[in-house]
Structures are given as structure tokens and as C-alpha cells.
Amino acid sequence: MANYYEILEVNEKASIEVIDKAYKALAKKYHPDIYEGDKKDAEKKMQQLNEAYDVLSNEEKRKNYDTVLERKRQLQRAKEEVSRSQNNTAHNISNTGSSHVSNMQDENIQDSPINNPAKYDRDKFVVDTTYMDEKQKKKIQKKLQERYIEAYDNYLRSRGYKLKYKWTLKRIGITALVIISIILLFTILFFIPPIHNYLVNLYNTNVVLKFFVDIIIAFFSAIFSTISQLF
């Protein structure tokens, strides 16, 4: 099934302006009142276009859709890898053993949150938002999206796959906050007399530690020196 980008015939990096133009052009082409072909086909196409445009024209919906789309692609790659593994295994074990391994691997893939959501407690991902206002709906949907992605990531990890995540502003902020917290904690501990004396003694007696500490001090000194010259 075509994804929303394919339906609107745009690149996945397309700007909102490009998406808007593509939608208007396709909507004009497939509008049931002017479409020369089957009207039912035109209505179905317009439904797909409207659905795709509703998601891709909204920054938050598009972000969530991109995340789910990437997870589905990871699952597809996992299936392809299992398929290749099955072909390689078939040359090394008997037909009976091969069939058994194949069935087990198929069961593992079918047991994913996408293919078999019932086994992953649907109540964790579905909430009735009928009587909620838009702000509450967005908040709930965001939390459900995070839970779904977390469950899917855990599934992929359990199958032995290593996941790579894009560096978003949120992730950069969290990483920076952790680093700053560690530095502050170390600074506080450093000025406690017993710990201070222990660390100084360790620094003076451990050549390797002294080397790395000197590099770090030189690095931050260079940064502070550069900043002071600029201001």
C-alpha cells in the first residue's frame, strides 16, 4: 500500500509549500466532478489525497507519521533479513529442521506489535477521546504514540536488532542536560574535603587519569578563552 508521500507524489523531505501545491494539483485532477474516468475511482483517490494531506500538512501529525513509517520499514528489513537467514539455514540443516526453524522465525515476525497488536494490550494504545477537547486529545495521542513506539522498539531489540535514532532538538537537549548535571554533581563533590583530597591524590598518582584530565582542562580553557575574546 502506498504511503502518504507516494499518494501525494512528493519527496519525504518536501516542504509544506510543495505538499500544498501537490495536493491542489492532484485534487483538481481527480475531483469527481471533472474526472473523465470511473467516478468511484476518483472518489477513492480523493479520499486518499485528503487523508494524506490532513496528516502531512500538520507538523505534529507528520512527525508522528514519519516515526511510525520508519518503524514499519525497520520491521520490513527485519523480515527480509529473516528470509535471507532462512535461505542460508536451508543449506545446513535437514528439511524437517528447516521447516521447524522457518515456522519459528515466521511466528517471531507475526508476533510484532504491528502484525499482532492484540498480544500487546491494545488498551495501552487506544483511548476514547470523544468527549475531550483538542488540547487533551493531542496530549493523549502524543503519550499513546510514545508508548506504541517504545513497545515496538522493545520488540525489535528483543529480536537482536540495533536501533539508530535521529538527533532531534529534544534528544540534544536531554543529552546536554545530563552532561551539565554530571558536571555540576562532580563540581559539588570536588569541594567536599575528603573527596577533594582523594581525587587530588588519585590525579597525582595515576598517569593515565592525569593525561585525560589535562586534555579536558585544556579543552574547556580554550573554549572559555575564545568566548572571553569574543565578548
Measured CA to CA, the distance from residue 93 to residue 88 in angstroms comes to 10
Buried b vs exposed e over 88-102: b needs ≥16 C-beta within 10 Å? eeeeeeeeeebeeeb
Count of domains observed in the chain: 1
Domain presence at residue 9: no
Phi-psi region of 206 (alpha: psi -120 to 50; beta: other; left: phi over 0): beta
Least confident of 8-12, 38-42, 76-80, 201-205: 76-80
CB neighbours of residue 45 within 10 Å: 20
Q: Which one has a higher pLDDT value, 102 or 160?
A: 160
3-class state of residue 113 by DSSP: coil
Domain presence at residue 46: no
Name the grid cell of 167: 538527533
Domain presence at residue 43: no
pLDDT, tens digit, for every residue of 111-146?
A: 554 455 444 444 444 555 565 677 777 777 777 777
What does the pLDDT read at residue 151?
74
- For 13, half-sphere exposure in the C-beta direction (CA atoms, 13 angstrom radius) is 0
3-class state of residue 121 by DSSP: coil
Domain presence at residue 49: no
What is the residue range of 209's domain?
Answer: 172-230
Domain presence at residue 219: yes
pLDDT, tens digit, for every residue of 6-47?
A: 999 999 989 999 999 999 999 988 888 888 888 888 899 999
Q: Which residues fall within 8 angstroms of residue 8, CB to CB, at 6 or more apart?
A: 19, 22, 23, 26, 49, 52, 53, 56
- The residue assigned the cell 468511484 is 40
Least confident of 78-82, 109-113, 136-140, 154-158: 109-113
Name the grid cell of 99: 521447516
Q: What percent of the chain has pLDDT over 90?
A: 14
Domain presence at residue 17: no
Name the grid cell of 68: 511510525
Measured CA to CA, the distance from residue 163 to residue 161 in angstroms comes to 6
Domain presence at residue 132: no
